[in-house]
Structure 1
Amino acid sequence: MATSDDLTCSRRTVWQGGIGTLALLLAAGRSRPVPAAQQSWPDFLDQIAREARRLGISPATTRAALARAERLERVIELDRRQPEGQMSFADYIGRVIDANRVRRGQEMLETHRDLLEQIRFRFGVPNPTLVALWGLESSYGRSTGTWSVVSALATLAHDGRRSEFFRGELMAALQILDAGDVDLDELKGSWAGAMGQAQFMPSTYLRHAVDWDGDGQRDIWGSIPDVLASMSNLLARSGWRQGELWGREVQAPADLPAGRRDTVAAFAKAGVRDSEGGPLPNSDMPAVLLRMDGPGGRAFLTYHNFQVIKIWNRSDYFALSVGLLSDQLKAA
């Protein structure tokens, strides 16, 4: 178990600049490039290889990775079908939180109790929150994705919608390969390029992955200690506040608009009650009112830690699911 402030540093030399620094380096290294979507696939890969070389990634690593890169049309289709545009929150929550996921989460809390307590002491993130994230991201490590991360990221970088973001992630993935943190054959993940049991994007891995078990590798694919510590490190560094809730489900008067910002006490004066109809705490904690699925749907007051979860994934659906699953695990 690692205990020092060096936890986030691999024993290998890795690029630590983050996506913003990488974007600046890329911009400095080329002038008026042809937009990726207007390039042929081979020309696009050639440009990626040149950029990787300017960033110090070995040509051998780049050649090996890009030689097997394919443009995956299915990835483009999935990128255009995000859940908040395709299903109601009620449908989404019914799919992602079921009795089996709750039961498995309870088992993980018990099985890894000592490890979780050590990680909680170091980073301050509650065990149910951490396990809920693990469960929703990869079904507690059972579902980590089978897509080639390099092909998925290259496809999205070649597409015109968010080319610069995914180009940066592709460069980060090549850096991970170049550092020897994972073999190319094992670099699998989601269709969007999220990797391992933690489902980190490559730039997130470079900034936040932790070698908790002390074996010299930051292994978010096979090491549960590294997975859980890395996830907790990301939340802590994103501003997680110890001792505060993520939010709560509430009953809210119909005339209160979604998106209203106020203190919990002010919402109480406006007629907001807890989910059982009881009074809210007399608290000056800032909160935001969310209404899901319109006026007849579920309502929530969300706090600072909810926004921290959204740094992980910008979806309200996802962040609410983490909060609600963590509440169920805490209550068990």
Structure 2
Amino acid sequence: MSKLSKSTVGLTGLLLASSLMTSNSFANELSFEQYVETLKTQGREHGISEVILEEAFDGVTFKPRAVKADKNQPEKKLTLDEYIPRAVPAWKVKQAQTLYKKHYEALNRIGKEYGVQPRFIVALWGVESNFGKFTGNYSVIDALTTMAYDGRREAFFTKEAMAALTILEEGHIKPKEMKGSWAGAMGQPQFMPSSFLAYAADGSGDGKKDIWNTEEDVFASAANYLSQSGWDDQYTWGRQVSVPSDISLDLQGRTADKAKYLQEWSELGVKRFDGSALPKLDEDIQAWLIMPDDQSGRSYLVYNNYNVLMKWNRSYYFALAVSHLADRIKFN
């Protein structure tokens, strides 16, 4: 699998980047129809009912476009100066501000329940699926079965297929309505099925977790993911900074040994982007220096909330797009 570009966005990108499990393709050993039967057998072993298995795999077809999309992921690497305006254009900022106000009551309630600032929920929604407009039109079962049969990451996609069947068994959505991306990322937050089982939440109180059509469930699910991943709503994500030209590149990175308190960064000559001093807090906070485009590009001091965004998607660019959009909502 080729390395994902810096501009890769979406939870799909994170999960595909992290799933390096491979196996020999079954294409020359079993027909697609025979392979579907092996998935059904595994489904039975996972406790999936015959009714759901028959309905889920009814009309399942191999999707060559999904395999092609996987093999032809974009390789072009944009700089942040090129990427941020594309990922967070003025029209998206305006939509985010409008939707923030429209859904403020639900967002505020959910934000308090999970300990996540509502602006970050809206920003994730906007960057991940353009506020639910781009969620994919593949049958999730078709997509996952295709990718498992393709064989390059068979174990990963088989696990996701079993998770998708479990979602159907639990009755959160009908099989024909379970739509997603070519890789099986589902709904408005683009959760893979295993992420749905771990983090999807019922924000509307109707007993279902509908991340496809119910916005309150989308908000609660995103907030639950962040909350369970270590989010702290007492802090923001970080800030763009200016650094001395002679600062050591060995200081950058997000590993535990690279963390320093703001006062320490200040002593090293790091300043706000406008040249003013870093904030002095009553209780100092640890931060990490990141330079996604190396020393020639933008520099940031990021807090642990940024690390949480990187759990959602391990692209520096994705996390920075969400962060920038959240800031634009804040300052509306």
Scaled by the length of structure 2, what TM-score is found? 0.83
Q: Give 1:71 deviation, angstroms.
A: 2.6
Query: 1:107 and 1:43, CA in 2 relative to 1: closer, same or farther beyond 3 A?
Result: same
Contact 2:24-2:152 at 8 Å conserved across structures: no
Tell me which residue corresponds to 1:104.
Answer: 95
State which of 253, 262, 265 in structure 1 corresponds to 2:263. Answer: 265
Query: 1:97 and 1:46, CA in 2 relative to 1: closer, same or farther beyond 3 A?
Result: same
SS of corresponding position for 1:136? helix
Tell me which residue corresponds to 2:204.
Answer: 213
List aligned pairs for 1:103-142, cutoff 5 A: 103-142=94-133
Identify which range, 287-296 or 187-196, moves more after superposition.
Answer: 287-296
Q: Give 1:35 deviation, angstroms.
A: 6.1
Tell me which residue corresponds to 1:327.
Answer: 327
Quick check: 1:279 aligned with 2:290?
Answer: no
Name segments (4+ residues, structure 1) moved above 6 Å.
none
Contact 1:250-1:275 at 8 Å conserved across structures: yes
Q: Distance in 1 between matches of 2:321 and 2:59?
A: 36
Tell me which residue corresponds to 1:27.
Answer: none
Scaled by the length of structure 1, what TM-score is found? 0.83
CA RMSD of aligned residues (A): 2.2
SS of corresponding position for 1:101? helix
Q: Give 1:112 deviation, angstroms.
A: 1.0
Higher relative contact order (CA 8 A, sep 6+): 2
Tell me which residue corresponds to 1:222.
Answer: 213
Q: What amino acid maps onto 2:77 in structure 1?
A: M
Identify which range, 206-215 or 72-81, moves more after superposition.
Answer: 72-81
Aligned residues: 300
Q: What amino acid maps onto 1:290 in structure 2?
A: I
State which of 128, 136, 146 in structure 2 corresponds to 1:155. Answer: 146
Q: What amino acid maps onto 2:253 in structure 1?
A: G
Query: 1:81 and 1:244, CA in 2 relative to 1: closer, same or farther beyond 3 A?
Result: farther
Question: Deviations for 1:282-310, whole angstroms, at most 9, x for unmatched residues?
Answer: 46422222212232211111211111112
Q: Distance in 1 between matches of 2:29 and 2:94?
A: 49
List aligned pairs for 1:142-291, cutoff 5 A: 142-254=133-245, 255-257=247-249, 258-259=252-253, 261-263=258-260, 264-282=262-280, 284-291=284-291
Q: Which 5+ residue runs of structure 1 have no aligned equivalent? A: 1-18, 20-32
Contact 1:89-1:317 at 8 Å conserved across structures: no
Q: Distance in 2 between matches of 1:277 and 1:77?
A: 47
SS of corresponding position for 2:68? helix
Q: What amino acid maps onto 2:325 in structure 1?
A: L
Q: Give 1:228 deviation, angstroms.
A: 0.7
